[in-house]
């Protein structure tokens, strides 16, 4: 046993594309070192300096404590106990949002470190394998319109679909964040074109990027693509409109899903009980880490709800998706941001190695911890502190 010796929160930033929507443009890397010098890494998808400030804040009182004071000297294998300690001791400023994003990054780093200490992959700390292989899905995001025509955007989408199929994916999500470039009727046509590009054998999901403020408008489009065999309809209406999600879910045969911004099982329970969604999509690096998504997926399973995590960050989050799906029965897919499909310096360079995909499948991870190594040269290049 080697206890926690040191915690670092390192803001990292790559050059941003103008007016785009790329969650992988920055990250907060958390690195936790044990008394023997072994390291575990984690990250979260929130403004890096703000989360760093949360992690580094000095203790004010019993419900607003400094994280390092809580963790240094503790055994990293006590994953759930440490999670509860952090949650309770930051409950005054935390409990949701940034406080949970901070705990997410730390919890991921603890899984990496604990796995390295015992020489086992992180999914074995999450209950072990529940499936023989992994099934990632690829998100195809051609970028925001930025003055392009819909024809130009669909051309990029088609090229990316082809590339995803060549890489070996069997499931693809079409991002249709076209804003007012298309009417709802034209959007229906775009999605039907997308299905024709992919052929009938591919699993196809659609992300609407919060297009509508009315569930009825969303229903109008979903009704007209019901014969396209769409696996799920993501972010059709506003994230906080859970009653709208409930109404929409009752009115369509397509699985309605969301919750990519949700934190903890407490918020996900509202998505399930009030929102009546078929699939929840918490991000492991935002919902509370690997400890919390384990609890979320166990809870969702009681309701017959699937958990297909969001993931648009670096290879650290991509690795988390693999360990989560490996150890989860009600996770038929996980979002896998492929560095070959989306041009992101941090996704490409920050950690390695990358898994291979064959016939839609990845092997279960076998290296200790998360199974990825921080690239020191990339960290030096992109760190902002």
Residues making contact with Mg ion (CB under 5 A): 207
Evaluate whether 309 touches 293 at the Cβ level (below 8 Å): yes
Give the angle 34-115-283 at the CA atoms, nearest 5°. 105
**Alpha-carbon torsion angle 363, 365, 366, 368, nearest 10:** 170
Closer to Mg ion by Cβ: residue 55 or 337:
337
Q: Name the DSSP class of 78.
A: -
Angle at 234 between CA 167 and CA 209, to 5 degrees: 95
Least distance in angstroms from the C-beta of 309 to Mg ion: 11
Tokens of 296: 């979320």
**What is d(CA 189, CA 251) in angstroms, rounded to the nearest whole number?**
21
Q: How far apart are the first and last CA of the chain?
A: 32
Question: Of the two residues 137 and 382, which places its CB atom closer to Mg ion in the complex?
Answer: 137
Query: Would you tell me how many other CB atoms lie within 10 Å of the CB of residue 220?
Result: 15
By C-beta, is 107 or 207 nearer to Mg ion? Answer: 207
**CB-nearest residue to Mg ion:** 207
Rounded to a whole number of angstroms, the minimum distance from the CB of residue 233 to Mg ion is 11
Of residues 68, 39, 52, 11, the one with CA closest to residue 314: 11
Residue 79 CB, shortest distance to Mg ion, in Å, is 28
Q: Which is nearer to Mg ion, 93 or 332 (CB)?
A: 332
CB of 332 vs Mg ion, minimal distance in Å? 17
Least gap, CB of 141 to Mg ion (angstroms): 9
Mind giving me the DSSP string for 110-126? Answer: HHHHHHHHHTSBGGGGG
DSSP 283: B
- Tell me the closest approach of the beta carbon of residue 260 to Mg ion, in angstroms: 5
| Residue with smaller CB distance to Mg ion, 141 or 215 | 141
């Amino acid at each position: 046993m080697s206890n926690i010796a040191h915690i670092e929160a390192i803001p990292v930033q790559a050059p941003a594309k103008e007016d785009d929507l790329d969650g992988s443009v920055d990250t907060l890397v958390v690195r936790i070192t044990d008394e023997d010098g072994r390291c575990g890494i984690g990250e979260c998808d929130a403004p890096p300096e703000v989360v760093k400030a949360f992690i580094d804040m000095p203790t004010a009182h019993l419900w607003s404590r400094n994280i390092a004071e809580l963790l240094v000297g503790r055994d990293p294998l006590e994953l759930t106990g440490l999670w509860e300690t952090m949650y309770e001791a930051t409950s005054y400023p935390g409990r949701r949002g940034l406080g949970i994003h901070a705990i997410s990054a730390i919890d991921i780093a603890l899984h990496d470190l604990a796995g390295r200490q015992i020489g086992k992959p992180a999914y074995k700390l999450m209950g072990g394998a529940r499936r023989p292989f992994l099934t990632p899905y690829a998100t195809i995001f051609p970028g925001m319109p930025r003055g392009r025509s819909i024809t130009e955007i669909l051309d990029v989408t088609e090229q990316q679909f082809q590339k995803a199929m060549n890489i070996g994916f069997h499931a693809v999500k079409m991002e249709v964040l076209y804003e007012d470039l298309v009417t709802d009727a034209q959007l229906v046509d775009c999605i039907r074109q997308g299905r024709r590009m992919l052929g009938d054998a591919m699993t196809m999901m659609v992300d609407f990027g919060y297009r509508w403020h009315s569930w009825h408008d969303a229903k109008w489009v979903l009704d007209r693509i019901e014969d396209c065999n769409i696996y799920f309809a993501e972010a059709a209406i506003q994230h906080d409109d859970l009653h709208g999600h409930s109404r929409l879910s009752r009115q369509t045969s397509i699985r309605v899903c969301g919750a990519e911004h949700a934190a903890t099982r407490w918020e996900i329970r509202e998505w399930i009980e009030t929102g009546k969604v078929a699939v929840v999509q918490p991000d492991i690096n935002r919902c509370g880490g690997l400890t919390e998504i384990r609890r979320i997926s166990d809870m969702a399973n009681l309701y017959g709800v699937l958990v297909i995590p969001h993931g648009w960050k670096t290879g650290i989050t991509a690795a988390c998706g693999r360990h989560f799906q490996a150890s989860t029965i009600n996770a038929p897919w996980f979002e896998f941001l492929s560095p070959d499909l989306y041009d992101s310096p941090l996704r490409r360079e920050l950690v390695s190695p990358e898994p291979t995909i064959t016939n839609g499948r990845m092997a279960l991870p076998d290296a200790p911890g998360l199974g990825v190594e921080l690239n020191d040269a990339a960290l030096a290049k992109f760190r902002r502190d």
